[in-house]
């Protein structure tokens, strides 16, 4: 399980939130960061050079010795539950964090050894359970234990900042109290329908036997035009530090002028006898309706208060379901680190997804640096766990591409930039030659895994047109499409003429199209595809086979079409003995030059192909595709997973950013080059899905997950 300490100084934390609902990240230093639930996936709200996280969101802990005995230490003491300074306020000594998506635990090292304090958090990622998995919120649980021999009075402080609306005017804070809960509410009284950040979020707490007090609002700005950790006014701290409670003071209404950063605080205290443990459950929920397409979560939750109440009532069954999913993944017959990697690579579900009110779904390619929606060439890899565990969502995404298909049969590259209604042909000049074969294979996969014949009927005409477009890209009659430059997923890398990467995809797509045609009763097109396959398969060997592998240089993805064909049970696209020989040679050549993963392209003498940034570096998603194919083709899993271990060790132990991974990793240094929360990397799930074809235990675990682990009881 990924474990970090506050000294690791990570800028990306574990995302908590929901599918299409946005997220908030928790860092090992005890702070929150990279808020995106305000319809701002491409502009996360968070830290900068002055402060590495969201300033104005802070937790505090108070302990008072009730034994009456004097000592050298103060009878009362309070600390911020973080290790990053804010003014001169006291901090905890260290925080240890362990986290595997979608849950984490922080363990605080306090100056007072008599108190043991931990914070747990979880969100719902539950296969097949779309309602709970798209919840706009997340659950937390403080657990405090008195290890002293005498009673202690302990307190917890929660400080939040109002960020509702692009401008501070109209922001207001409220504290709402009910019989069973206390809510800190942050919203904006000046509603603006075109402001995506206009909405509401709240922190809601179970009373749970604690004594509650509050300071509803104050201005955190102590110096005009300056809001930083040295000038932050934490008014609530003075009362909390002095007596472990707040003055129960209401605010002054909505903000009406600038230089206002509206803060709010609540405090919970109770007495713990020697050896006693207490828990404090709380949730963070939100509702930001001003998305251009609306939010699907509003079908089930009518506001942040509704979500908060649901989360508080259902936190135990949801947590139990999350734990069942994790136990299922950890029961897979792979090393512990690899099962950690499987879970960790699911983080884009919360960081990078849209789920519109009308049911349309899409993933970002990379929400900050490349905010293109649904990108086909990348989704071919990254959408594998989506199609496997949430087939309804993936079918929605692919049908949007079908509806956007050009009149000549070309399938666009993406659905739009920060939108899904303005599709683009690609990031380079020429039409991309790998998009249509990938679309065809994804259509077959989505029908096969969902069993949705209505989906097949709707998408089959688009598949037929897509295949014929690729056939027309063969200009010399050998059955293989010709490239014209940077016209494929490696969009900084020039291909000319036929290339084994796209040709292998085309071969697999012909097999898939033939099966779809047969299922649709289109015998003529089935025969056309099979004839085209026979011609292209002969050419694939004649044009590319060099006695050791296909093409020159040795490209990691030269058999990615065979990878999908094996994953979907389509059969071989070329001679099996040659495939095995090529796999062994690729594993040797492409693995050798870098300590951080397999290179995309290597020359026959083992030197890196330096023709482009994409050829000479490491792409995690391409590594996972190769490993999956090699394992399906009978190469030993333990041997093949050594490549994935190189990726994992670099991502987790050197770069220390397992929940926000790039597409491109520098082959020489291991540093992240391009991409954030990158869609392609979820291709790691093709490894267990592929291995399930030959391993009964893996097959049983995945079947249990797909059929839906027992749903949380909904109240």
Domain hosting 494: range is: 331-707
89: CATH: 2.70.98
Q: Quick check: is 713 in a domain?
A: no
398, pLDDT greater than 60: yes
- Write the DSSP symbol of residue 599: B
310, pLDDT greater than 60: yes
CA 276 vs CA 145, 156, 205: distances in Å: 6, 16, 21
Last residue in a domain, options 289, 323, 357: 323
- What is the per-residue pLDDT for 709? 66
Tell me how far apart the alpha carbons of residues 585 and 563 are, in angstroms, rounded to a whole number.
16
Tell me the pLDDT tens digit for each residue of 622-638.
999 999 999 999 999 99
- 268 shares a domain with 406: no
- Calculate what percentage of the chain has a pLDDT beyond 70: 98
Q: Quick check: is 21 in a domain?
A: no
Residue range 75-98: average pLDDT? Answer: 94
- What is the per-residue pLDDT for 715? 47
* Residues 6 or more apart in contact with residue 527 via CB below 8 angstroms: none
Last residue in a domain, options 274, 297, 323: 323
Q: How many degrees, rounded to 5, is the angle at CA 339 between CA 336 and CA 340?
A: 85
- Calculate what percentage of the chain has a pLDDT beyond 90: 93
- 354 shares a domain with 271: no
* Residues 6 or more apart in contact with residue 649 via CB below 8 angstroms: none
70, pLDDT greater than 60: no
71 falls in which pLDDT band (50, 70, 90)?
low
- 544 shares a domain with 524: yes
- 672 shares a domain with 582: yes
- 604 shares a domain with 476: yes
713, pLDDT greater than 90: no
Q: Quick check: is 34 in a domain?
A: no
Q: Quick check: is 221 in a domain?
A: yes
Task: Tell me the two tokens of residue 366.
Answer: 């990379």
Tell me the pLDDT tens digit for each residue of 9-58.
898 999 999 999 999 999 999 999 999 999 999 999 999 888 999 999 99
69, pLDDT greater than 90: no
Burial 176-213 (b: 16+ CB within 10 A, else e): eeeeebbbbbbbbebeeeebbbbbbbbbbbbbbebebb
- 402 shares a domain with 267: no
- 335 shares a domain with 318: no
Last residue in a domain, options 296, 323, 350: 323
Q: Which of 176-185, 190-199, 222-231 has the highest mean pLDDT?
A: 176-185
- The strand ranges marked E within 55-161 are 58-65, 76-80, 94-100, 103-109, 115-122, 137-146, 152-161
- What is the per-residue pLDDT for 294? 97
- What is the per-residue pLDDT for 710? 53
- 396 shares a domain with 314: no
569, pLDDT greater than 70: yes
* Residues 6 or more apart in contact with residue 605 via CB below 8 angstroms: none
Residue range 461-490: average pLDDT? Answer: 98
627: CATH: 1.50.10.10
- 344 shares a domain with 291: no
Residue range 411-416: average pLDDT? Answer: 98
Q: Are 161 and 24 spatial neighbours (Cβ–Cβ below 8 Å)?
A: no
Helix (H) or strand (E) run with residue 519 in it: helix 500-519
Q: Quick check: is 549 in a domain?
A: yes
- 519 shares a domain with 606: yes
Q: Quick check: is 10 in a domain?
A: no
pTM, two decimal places: 0.96
Tell me the pLDDT tens digit for each residue of 99-113.
999 999 999 999 888
Q: Which residue has tokens 């309706």? A: 289
- What is the per-residue pLDDT for 112? 82
Number of domains making up the chain:
2
Tell me the pLDDT tens digit for each residue of 647-657.
999 999 999 99
714, pLDDT greater than 80: no
Burial of 126 per CB tally in 10 Å (0-12, 13-18, 19+): buried
Q: Quick check: is 132 in a domain?
A: yes
- 487 shares a domain with 434: yes
- What is the per-residue pLDDT for 49? 85
Q: Quick check: is 211 in a domain?
A: yes
CA atoms within 13 A on the CB side of 299: 14
- 390 shares a domain with 311: no
Describe the strand order of the beta sheet including 181-188 as a list of residue ranges. Answer: 3-5, 94-100, 103-109, 115-122, 137-146, 277-287, 200-206, 181-188, 171-177
């Amino acid at each position: 399980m990924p474990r970090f300490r506050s000294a690791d100084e990570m800028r990306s934390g574990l995302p908590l939130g929901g599918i299409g609902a946005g997220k908030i990240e928790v860092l090992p230093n005890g702070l929150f960061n990279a808020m995106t639930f305000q319809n701002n996936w491409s502009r996360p709200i968070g830290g900068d050079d002055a402060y590495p996280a969201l300033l104005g969101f802070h937790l505090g802990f108070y302990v008072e010795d009730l034994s009456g005995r004097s000592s050298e230490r103060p009878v009362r003491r309070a600390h911020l539950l973080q290790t990053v300074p804010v003014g001169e306020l006291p901090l905890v000594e260290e925080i240890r964090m362990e986290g595997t998506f979608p849950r984490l635990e922080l363990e605080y090292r306090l100056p007072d050894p008599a108190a043991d304090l931990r914070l747990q958090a979880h969100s719902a990622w539950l296969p097949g359970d779309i309602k709970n998995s798209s919840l706009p919120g997340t659950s937390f649980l403080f657990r405090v234990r008195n290890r002293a021999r005498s009673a202690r009075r302990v307190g917890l402080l929660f400080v939040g900042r109002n960020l509702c609306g692009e401008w501070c005017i109209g922001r207001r804070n409220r504290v709402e109290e009910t019989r069973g809960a206390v809510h800190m509410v942050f919203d904006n009284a000046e509603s603006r329908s075109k402001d995506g950040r206009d909405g509401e979020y709240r922190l809601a707490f179970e009373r749970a036997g604690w004594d509650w007090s509050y300071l509803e609002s104050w201005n955190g700005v102590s110096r005009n035009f300056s809001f930083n950790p040295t000038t932050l006014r934490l008014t609530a701290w003075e009362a909390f530090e002095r007596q472990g409670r707040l003055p129960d003071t209401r605010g002054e209404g909505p903000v009406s002028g600038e230089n206002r950063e509206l803060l709010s605080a609540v405090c919970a205290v109770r007495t713990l006898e020697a050896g006693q443990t207490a828990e404090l459950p709380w949730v963070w929920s939100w509702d930001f309706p001003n998305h251009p397409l609306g939010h699907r979560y509003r079908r089930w939750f009518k506001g942040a208060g509704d979500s908060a109440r649901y989360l508080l009532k259902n936190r135990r069954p949801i947590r139990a379901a999350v734990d069942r999913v994790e136990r299922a993944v950890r029961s897979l017959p792979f090393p512990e680190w690899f099962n950690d990697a499987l879970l960790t690579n699911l983080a884009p579900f919360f960081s990078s997804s849209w789920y519109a009110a009308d049911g349309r779904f899409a993933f970002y390619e990379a929400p900050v640096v490349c905010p293109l929606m649904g990108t086909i060439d990348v989704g071919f890899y990254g959408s594998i766990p989506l199609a496997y565990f949430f087939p309804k969502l993936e079918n929605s995404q692919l049908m949007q591409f079908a509806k956007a298909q050009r009149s000549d049969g070309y399938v666009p590259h993406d659905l739009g930039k920060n939108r899904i209604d303005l599709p683009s042909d690609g990031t380079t000049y020429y039409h991309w030659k790998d998009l249509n074969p990938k679309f065809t294979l994804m259509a077959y996969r989505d029908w096969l895994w969902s069993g949705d014949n209505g989906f097949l009927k709707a998408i089959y005409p688009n598949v037929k047109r897509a295949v014929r477009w690729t056939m027309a890209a063969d200009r010399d009659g050998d059955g293989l499409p010709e490239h014209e430059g940077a016209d494929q997923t490696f969009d900084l890398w020039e291909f000319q003429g036929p290339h084994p990467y796209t040709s292998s995809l085309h071969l697999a797509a012909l097999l898939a199209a033939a099966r779809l045609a047969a299922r649709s009763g289109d015998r003529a097109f089935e025969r056309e595809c099979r004839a085209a396959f026979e011609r292209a398969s002969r050419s694939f060997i004649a044009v590319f086979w060099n006695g050791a592998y296909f093409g020159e240089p040795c490209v990691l993805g030269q058999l990615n079409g065979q990878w999908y064909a094996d994953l979907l049970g389509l059969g071989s696209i070329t001679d099996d003995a040659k495939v095995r020989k090529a796999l062994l040679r690729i594993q040797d050549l492409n693995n050798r030059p870098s300590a951080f993963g397999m290179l995309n392209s290597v020359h026959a003498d083992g030197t890196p192909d330096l023709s482009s940034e994409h050829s000479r570096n490491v792409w995690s998603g391409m590594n996972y595709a190769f490993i999956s194919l090699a394992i399906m083709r009978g190469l030993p899993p333990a041997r093949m997973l050594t490549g994935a271990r190189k990726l994992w060790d670099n991502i987790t132990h050197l770069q220390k950013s397992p929940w926000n991974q790039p597409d491109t990793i520098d082959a020489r240094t291991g540093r992240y080059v391009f991409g954030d929360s990158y869609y392609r990397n979820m291709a790691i799930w093709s490894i267990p899905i592929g291995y399930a074809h030959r391993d009964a235990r893996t097959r049983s675990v995945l079947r249990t997950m797909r059929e839906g682990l027992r749903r949380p009881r909904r109240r």
